[in-house]
Structure 1
Amino acid sequence: MPLHPDLAGFLELVEFGRLTGKSHPMHSLPVAEARLEFERASAILDASPPEAVAVQALRIASRDGQSIPGRLYRRPGSESRVLPVLLYLHGGGYVVGSLDSHDSVCRRLALAGDFAVLAPDYRLAPEYPFPTAVEDCLDSANWLLEHAAKLNLDATRVAVGGDSVGASLATVLAISAVHAPQTMALRPRAQLLFYPVTDISTQRDSHQRYAEGYLLETATLEWFYAHYAADASNDWRVSPLLFLGLQPLADALVSLAEFDPLFDEGQAWAEQLQGSGTAVTLQVQTGLTHDFLRMHGMVAEVEGIYQQIGQWLDQRF
C-alpha cells in the first residue's frame, strides 16, 4: 500500500524545508535543539488534543534519591473510582521526548477505555546514559505498586506500554516481571508495544528500505543509540531480541508502521514473543510511518487505532 496521502503531503513539506535550508535532520542538530524540534512537532501532528481529561501532576521517587515528574490521566468524573492503569512510556530515542511531547497520546489513551494512564518522565541521554532510563522505569513501576491505593488505582490490573523506545522500555518491564521479579514487584496483565526498538546491535532490511524520507531516519536511530548506549548494544535491556530463554509474558499488542526502519525488528520481536508462548496480537498499520500515535490531527485513521487499543486493553482488564 502507498503512503497515506495526508502523510505523504506532510513528508513532502518536510523535504522541501530541508532543500530550502529551513529544517534539518534531527541527527544533525545539537541535542537541545533536537528536543525543541521534537516538542514543536507535537503541535503540528496533533494540534487539538482533547481537553476533557483529568490530569494530576506527580513526583516519582528514583533509586538514586532523586525524583522524576509524572502525570496521571483519567476520564473526568472518574477520580472517585478505582481504575486499572496503563503505565505508559514515551518514545524519543532515549534522547528527546517528554511528558509534553506525548501529552496528546496519553490524553487520547485515557479516553479510549475504562482505565487511567500513568506517564513517568524518565531521564534522558546523553546527560543520563544507559541504564538510567531502564532504572527510572523500573522504579516507576514499583512506585505505582506502592502508591496505587492512594491514587484510586488497581495495582492488580496494570498494563505496560509505550511507543518506539518507550515500547522497548515497556518490554524490559514485562520481561523483568517474569525473569527478574526481585527488580520489579508489579505484575502486568498486558503490554502495548507501538513500533518498538528491539535490537540496536544490528541493522535489518527495513533500515535500508526506509532509511530516509519516512519521518524517522536510520541515521537518527544511530545518533540516538550513540548517545544512550554506545557500549551496551548487546545488553537485552536495550536489545530485547537478544534475550535468551524467554518465558511467556503478559499478553501483547504489537502495532507496527508499514513504512518504518524499525519494521523488521518489530516483526521479529512479535515472532519471538509468540515462540515463547506469549499471546500476541500483531497489527501492521498500512500506509503509515513511525510515530503514527502522535498523528491524530493529521491522519483520520488514527482515531480508529485508539479505539482498537481501548477495546483490546479493556478486555485484558
Structure 2
Amino acid sequence: MQLTPKITQILNHLETIQPFNPQDSLDGARKFLETMSLQLSGKKEAVAVIEELHIPQENHQIPVRIYRPKGKEIQQSSAIIYIHGGWFIAGGYETHDAVVRKLANKTGSVVIFIDYRLAPEHPFPAGLNDSLDSIKWVIQNAESLGIDPDKIGIIGDSAGAALATAVSTKIGKHLKFQVLIYPAVDNQLNSKTWETYENGPVLNKQGGIEAWAGYLPEEEKENPLAIPVLIKDFKETPSTLIILAEHDPLLDDGKQLSENMKNAGVDISISFYKDMVHGFMHMGELLEEVQSAVDEMAAFAHQKLKSGE
C-alpha cells in the first residue's frame, strides 16, 4: 500500500485523536468522527442561510438542517437531500457541515441534511424510514420551502449512501439524480479489499462488524433495503454517480453495487479517486481532492437537473 505524504500525515494525525471523556466505545466512535471532522475539514464556507426544523412524525420528530447557497433566489430552487455517513451509528450536523456548505454553494441548490435516528438505539429500519419520510415531507412542502419539487436529487456518503440507494429504489421517480460516495452496502465484509485493509486506514473490520451488528436486527439479515448489494430491482433508481476511493476497504463493495446497477440498466457513472482513503471528504484541510469531488458532484447535478430526464 503506497500512501502519499499528505495521506500519511493525515493518518498519523488520526492516531493522535483522543475522544474527550468517552462513556463507552460507541460514544468514543461518535466523538472520534466529530473530532476528525472538526480538525481536518478545513475552513467552512459561508452560505446565505442555515435553518433548522423538525419534521413531525407519529412518535418522534426528525431534525433537518436546510442550507441555502450564497447568491441564490429562494424561490423555486433545486434541492439536494443529503444523507450522512458514520457506520449507521455516528455522524450528524457537525460532522458533515463543511462538506454540505461546499455542496450548497457549488451546486447552487438548497441542501437538506437529514439527521436520521442512529443505531444501535434505533436499528434498521429507523434511519431508512426517517430518510424516506423526510424526502416525502420535502416534496409535499416544496412550495413553502422555496423548492422546485421536480428538481430534487440525493447524495449519501458511506452508510448514508446505503440509505440513499435504498431510498431511490422506493421513491426514485421523484429524484433527478443520486450520488453515492464510498458506499457501505454489504454486511459480509469479506471482499478482497476488506482483506487488504482489514486494519485500516480509517476503517477497520472489527469496527465494521460491530456497527452492522448494532444496525441490523437478526430478522433483517436478508433485507435488500438494509443491505443494498442484495438489491435486484433498480427500476426506480435515477442516474447515479458513484465515487470510490483507492485505499478503502469498501472499494470492492462499491464496485459490486455499481456492477449490479449497470446490469439492471441504471444510467451510471463511476469516479475513482486514486490515493484516497475512506472518509477523504472530511479532509479538505489538506486534500485538494475534496474540492475536485465537490466540483464533479456539482457538474453531475447540473447536468441531470437540466436534462429533464
TM-score of the superposition, structure 1-length normalised? 0.90
Aligned to 2:119: 125
Task: Give the CA deviation at 1:47.
Answer: 3.2
Task: Give the CA deviation at 1:48.
Answer: 1.2
- Runs of 4+ residues over 6 Å off in structure 1: none
1:253 aligns to 2:241 (yes or no):
yes
Q: Where do residues 84-233 of structure 1 align in structure 2 (5 Å cutoff)?
A: 84-177=78-171, 187-231=174-218, 232-233=220-221
Q: 1:36 to 1:245 in 2, by over 3 A?
A: closer
1:311 aligns to 2:272 (yes or no):
no
Q: Where do residues 58-77 of structure 1 align in structure 2 (5 Å cutoff)?
A: 58-62=53-57, 64-77=58-71
Moved more, 239-248 or 262-271: 239-248
Q: C-alpha separation between the residues in 2 aligned to 1:60 and 1:79?
A: 24
Aligned to 1:236: 224
Q: C-alpha separation between the residues in 1 aligned to 2:52 and 2:119?
A: 23
1:277 aligns to 2:303 (yes or no):
no
Aligned to 2:50: 55
Moved more, 29-38 or 139-148: 29-38
Task: Give the CA deviation at 1:65.
Answer: 3.1
Q: What is the DSSP-based 3-state SS (H/G/I as helix, E as strand, rest coil) of the residue aligned with 2:95?
A: coil
Q: C-alpha separation between the residues in 2 aligned to 1:217 and 1:92?
A: 13
Q: C-alpha separation between the residues in 1 aligned to 2:286 and 2:203?
A: 17
Task: Give the CA deviation at 1:305.
Answer: 1.4
Q: C-alpha separation between the residues in 1 aligned to 2:124 and 2:51?
A: 28
1:32 aligns to 2:32 (yes or no):
no
Gaps of 5+ in 2: none
Aligned to 1:45: 40
Q: 1:29 to 1:214 in 2, by over 3 A?
A: farther
Aligned to 2:253: 265
Give the partner amino acid of 1:118.
I
Task: Give the CA deviation at 1:79.
Answer: 4.5
Task: Give the CA deviation at 1:23.
Answer: 4.4
Give the partner amino acid of 1:218.
K
Aligned equivalent of 2:289, options 297, 301, 306:
301
Q: C-alpha separation between the residues in 1 aligned to 2:114 and 2:123?
A: 17
Q: Deviations over 1:154-181 (max 9, x none)?
A: 1111111110010111101110125xxx
Q: C-alpha separation between the residues in 1 aligned to 2:179 and 2:13?
A: 31
Gaps of 5+ in 1: 179-185
Q: Deviations over 1:198-257 (max 9, x none)?
A: 111352111111111311112111111111114123211121121234336200000011
Aligned to 2:10: 10
Aligned to 1:183: none
CA contact (8 A) 1:190 1:252 kept: yes
Task: Give the CA deviation at 1:29.
Answer: 5.0
Q: C-alpha separation between the residues in 2 aligned to 1:188 and 1:276?
A: 18
TM-score of the superposition, structure 2-length normalised? 0.92
Q: What is the DSSP-based 3-state SS (H/G/I as helix, E as strand, rest coil) of the residue aligned with 2:210?
A: helix
Q: What is the DSSP-based 3-state SS (H/G/I as helix, E as strand, rest coil) of the residue aligned with 2:287?
A: coil
Q: C-alpha separation between the residues in 2 aligned to 1:248 and 1:166?
A: 18
Moved more, 257-266 or 78-87: 78-87
Q: C-alpha separation between the residues in 1 aligned to 2:221 and 2:73?
A: 42
Give the partner amino acid of 1:48.
K
Identity %: 29
Q: C-alpha separation between the residues in 1 aligned to 2:151 and 2:192?
A: 38
- Count of residues paired in the alignment: 301
Q: What is the DSSP-based 3-state SS (H/G/I as helix, E as strand, rest coil) of the residue aligned with 1:6?
A: helix
Q: C-alpha separation between the residues in 2 aligned to 1:163 and 1:245?
A: 21
Moved more, 75-84 or 3-12: 75-84
Q: C-alpha separation between the residues in 2 aligned to 1:150 and 1:52?
A: 20
